[in-house]
Amino acid sequence: MKENKSYYIETFGCQMNIADSEVVAAVLYDAGYSQVQQPEAADLVLLNTCAVRDNAEQRVWNKLQHFKGLKKKHKPLKIGILGCMAQRVGNGFEQSKVVDFIAGPDSYRNLPELIKQTSSEAFASALELSRTETYEALLPRRIDQSKLSGFVSITRGCNNFCSYCIVPYTRGRERSRNPGDVLNEIDDLQQKGYKEITLLGQNVNSYHQEEDGQSTGFTGLLTSIATQFPKLRIRFTTSHPKDISDALIETIAGHSNICNHIHLPVQSGSNDVLKIMNRGYTREWYLDRIHKIKTVIPGCGLSTDVFAGFPGETEADHKASMSLMQQVKFDSAFMFRYSERPGTYAAKHLKDDVPEETKIRRLNELITLQNQLSLESNKNVTGKHFDILIEGKSKRSDKDVFGRTETNKLVIVPDNNYKPGNIIKVIIGSYTSATLFGKAI
Ligand code: SAH
Ligand code: SF4
Ligand code: F3S
């Protein structure tokens, strides 16, 4: 029997969680639920959560306080926690008295059943992690209204067990989706008018699938996609430095529709730290990969993740991260301070011994440095020509629109009746560290 109820969903964390919320939307749509944009209008509120750092979890606890009030006013409201924090905190949510059910990342097919259980049980949970679930043959229902840029998961889970990271515990073992399923999903997006897709996985380079005696790796998959969808802009994230091959770099260079942008998280520039992080590469290896990218794909956009204050990080280690950033000259970076995650190798075996003030000071130094590097990177492209994909009106002025270069730089140009999805040629005139200003040519 189909339900005739409404739900509201809010997504926290990484792009993979956004893609998962689209899987959830498909499951709930099939069960008869309709999506609403206001929690006040919903019978069911879902939070798809992230557990990667403590502050990501705090955000969810704060939200729950807010929904506690709403629940008092609107008794039949049910609240469900999905995703990585559901998996990590588990039945700890039961004590909150606000949450009716939890579902981990591999349990979304069971959602309708789980929601039903909440009418007879005070708390329901589904936390089984699967070695095989890839939500095959389940076409995600697109929540993003822009219909321009879509996410396509190609792997789930992670086998790398970096010593600080919770993801292998919340998402389980790595598995790859079959290529046919991935191609179908991209075809669906193209038919719906999407202009850009981003292939997602914690480590896309380790994509691997055997089918009918034929094996496909990431380079093979990317080549098929680029060939079959010549009009789509193709992006992918995240690449792992230990697995990024020459063949992949050459494939990116060889297809004009694969965007010249690589997100390559380095985490630290110190070999001692990288070793204890279990990253599987050295500073020299990382710099060699960057050298290869810059040689084969001149002008390639480069971004990274780096964090300060890993256990045992000395001032010299921190300086090594800064000097690596300076050497590579990243266009942009996501920067964090270390947050100990219960159950990880680091939490069990390494003392979280860098004082909080030192972590904050080091993080601020990373941010200041990256701002300079981003400014320099933007300065270097003034006077240059780019194709940009228009995404919409500029937030600051409705006389302007904004779009992105294939290297992932944000460009603002005066509007000339452009529609989202148009690709226009621009020349860059001026810049800040975050934005380029151009005009059409
Ligand atoms: N799979 C990707 C990243 C996943 S998590 C990769 O391997 O790079 C996104 C980023 O969060 C990581 O790159 C790392 O920089 C950061 N991160 C992960 N665990 C963290 C922790 N315990 N404390 C601080 N930052 C962390
Ligand atoms: Fe976490 Fe490392 Fe896996 Fe990335 S590769 S998700 S940092 S364990
Ligand atoms: Fe967060 Fe889970 Fe993504 S921990 S970063 S939502 S994989």
Q: What is the pLDDT along the chain (441 residues), one digit of tens a residue?
A: 567 799 999 999 999 999 999 999 999 999 999 999 999 999 999 999 999 999 999 999 999 999 998 888 877 899 999 999 999 999 999 988 899 999 999 999 999 999 999 999 999 999 999 999 999 989 999 876 668 999 999 999 999 999 999 999 999 999 999 999 999 999 999 999 999 999 999 999 999 999 888 899 999 999 999 999 999 999 999 999 999 999 999 999 999 999 999 999 999 999 999 999 999 999 999 999 999 999 999 999 999 999 999 999 999 999 999 999 999 999 999 999 999 999 999 999 999 999 999 999 999 999 999 999 999 999 999 999 999 999 999 988 999 999 999 999 999 999 999 999 999 999 999 999 999 999 999
Residue bearing tokens 């996501």: 334
Q: Where are the alpha helices (DSSP H) in 134-199?
A: 167-171, 179-191
CATH topology of domain 385-440: OB fold (Dihydrolipoamide Acetyltransferase, E2P) (2.40.50)
| Residue in the structure block whose two tokens are 């810059």 | 294
6-126 under CATH 3.30.420.40, yes or no: no
Question: Residue 165 has what pLDDT?
Answer: 98
Question: What is the best residue among 16, 155, 203 to mutate for testing ligand 2's pocket, by most ligand atoms within 8 Å of CB?
Answer: 203
pLDDT of res. 149: 92
Question: What's the 282 CA to ligand 2 centre distance in angstroms?
Answer: 16
CA 322 – CA 269 distance, rounded (Å): 7
pLDDT value at residue 213: 85
pLDDT of 146? 64
Task: Determine the residue type at 11.
Answer: T
Q: Cβ(135)–Cβ(186) under 8 Å?
A: no
Query: What number of other Cβ atoms are within 10 A of residue 231's Cβ?
Result: 8
Structure tokens at 168: 């292998």
Cα separation of 171 and 52, whole Å?
Answer: 11
Return the residue matching tokens 């084969």: 296
Q: What per-residue confidence (pLDDT) applies to 156?
A: 97
The predicted pLDDT at position 1 comes to 55
Give pairs for 189-193: CB < 8 Å, separation 24+: 189/142, 189/150, 189/152, 189/232, 190/229, 190/231, 190/232, 192/142, 192/147, 193/147, 193/148, 193/421
| pLDDT at residue 200, as a whole number | 98
Of the residues 53, 166, 167, 305, which should be mutated to test ligand 2's pocket, given the most ligand atoms within 8 Å of the CB? 167
| 87 to 10, 92, 126: CA distances (angstroms) | 17, 10, 9
Verify whether ligand 3 is closer than 6 Å to residue 17 (CB atom): yes
pLDDT of residue 439: 96
Is the CB of residue 19 below 6 angstroms from any atom belonging to ligand 3?
A: no
Evaluate whether 317 touches 274 at the Cβ level (below 8 Å).
no
Q: What's the gap in Å between 160 CA and the centre of ligand 2?
A: 6
Per-residue b/e over 71-99, b at no fewer than 16 CB within 10 Å? beeeeebbbbbbbbbbbbbeeebbeeebb
Report which protein residue has its CA nearest ligand 2's atom 2: 162
The CA 325 to ligand 3 mean position distance, Å, reads 25
The atom number, within ligand 2, closest to the CA of 238 reads: 4
Residue 134 Cβ < 6 Å to ligand 3: no
DSSP 235: E
pLDDT value of position 147: 80
The ranges assigned to domains in the chain are 6-126, 385-440
Tracing tokens 């091959």 back to the chain, one arrives at 245
Distance 306 CA to ligand 1 centre (A): 8
Q: Please tell me the distance from the alpha carbon of residue 288 to that of residue 270, in angstroms, as a whole number.
A: 15
Q: How far is the CA of 213 from the centre of ligand 2 (A)?
A: 29
Torsion of CA 178, 183, 184, 185, to 10 degrees: 90
Residue 277 pLDDT? 98
Tokens of 9: 């969903």
C-beta neighbour count of 25 within 10 angstroms:
20
Q: Are 176 and 221 in contact (CB under 8 A)?
A: no
Residue of minimum CA distance from atom 5 in ligand 2 = 160
